Amino acid sequence: MSVLSGKNILLGVTAGIAAYKTAHLVRLFIKAGAQVKVVMTPASKDFVTPLTLSTLSNNPVYSSFYEKGEQGTEEWNSHVELGLWADYMLVAPATANTLAKMSNGVCDNLLLAVYLSAKCKVYFAPTMDLDMYKHASTKKSIAKLQSFGNVFISPSSGFLASGLIGEGRMEEPENMISFIENDIVKSLPLINKKVLITAGPTYEAIDPVRFIGNHSSGKMGFELAKQAANLGATVYLVSGPSNETVSNKRINRIDVISAEDMYNEVHKYFNSVDIAILSAAVADYKPKFVSDKKIKKSSEEMSIDLVKTKDILASLGKVKKSQFLVGFALETNNELENAKKKLNNKNLDLIVLNSLQDKGAGFKKETNKVTIIDKLENISEFGLKSKSKVAEDIFNVILKKNYA
């Protein structure tokens, strides 16, 4: 599985003869599981058509700040939004002209504006003739771009458009993909690690129609799974009934219904993982007896005998070896006291506390507000954030403690 799976790739195309290779490059990114958007300089359209790259990328191609809308109105192509969308940006081919502009902050087309707006890692793959590539000004541009943190994909030697043989030939698309994948892998802190995450509610059957459940959507657990995959981990996501979806090939989704189902699946994977984060809202009790037929309404009142479900988190705390174990605590009162008690009683390394008293936190919300407590009872408080940002905060705490 490619580390590019699920990533947003912004491809910048400039006016070099090697632009014809970008059609194959886009195909390879798509094959690796990435989403691709293409930004072209106006002159590059003389070498490869926007229609070709749009068709292959399944996205519009951008080349100017304004486009004509369906009603004849001018629609703005935001360089800022494109820059923020990308996980990685690749400028290929990168001509001597564009390299000089990029290195000196010149911003006279959309591609250069997007480059200056990008918050992500930027790769650049030069293309030019031998003497142009060897020129001191080109070498200076490349060195300056590298000093900014941009990553240089050096051209190969070979037959050039001028008829000369030497350096300046843009690297082949397959080799560029391999270069980028290897560079990303080196920087991923959870590469070759396995992470187990639980999410969503559990449903405890009363009869074939009814169940005991809760309002958990599973969103927090799914965001944790996505973040773990983005950090390079192989993820086992054990989810109760949830409408949330994932498409990252690093995430292996295992669907369950009841607490018993979740207990069995979690224990199946726990011994082989490095980190386990149990964010699911597991039912504490289940009906003692489950009717095999729908229970008919026969009186004003009905009572159901309940028994405790297996405590999944506590069971993992008892058998854990080197795994880093994280639990969640959703509280309504005495929050810190209850969370610390759970942390210690269940032999956890971290506990993530959220309170239903906090506005914007809790079930079926897009946001969450958490407090993280480690096994030494050090407390880290975080403000209200999107659940994707909360997932980043949780993994940042794990990684800072060097337990990954």
> Residue type at 315?
S
Residue 184 to residues 192, 209, 226, 248, Cα–Cα distance (Å)? 13, 49, 17, 16
- DSSP-derived pairing of the beta strands 379-381 and 371-374: antiparallel
Residues with Cβ < 8 Å from 400, sequence gap 6 or more? Answer: none
Q: State the Cα–Cα distance between residues 111 and 98, nearest whole angstrom.
A: 9
Give the Cα separation of 273 and 13 in Å (integer): 42
Q: Side chain identity at 35, as an amino acid letter?
A: Q
| Burial profile 238-269: b = 16 or more Cβ within 10 angstroms, e = fewer | bbbbbebebebebbbbbebbbbebbbebbeeb
Nearest to 179 by CA among 354, 357, 4: 4
Quick check: is 59 catalytic?
Answer: no
**Do residues 129 and 160 touch, judged by C-beta distance below 8 A?**
yes
Query: Token pair for residue 137?
Result: 């000004």
- AA letter at 123: Y
For residue 71 the two structure tokens come to 């009603």
- Rounded Cα gap, residues 396 and 251, in angstroms: 19
Q: Are 380 and 354 in contact (CB under 8 A)?
A: no
Pair of tokens at residue 27:
């195909």
Q: Is the dihedral of CA 229, 231, 232, 234 positive or negative?
A: negative
Tokens of 129: 């003739």
**Active-site annotation holder among 8, 77, 214, 252:** 214
Token pair for 387: 């659940």
142, 159, 173: which is closest to 56 by C-alpha? 173
Catalytic amino acids? 214
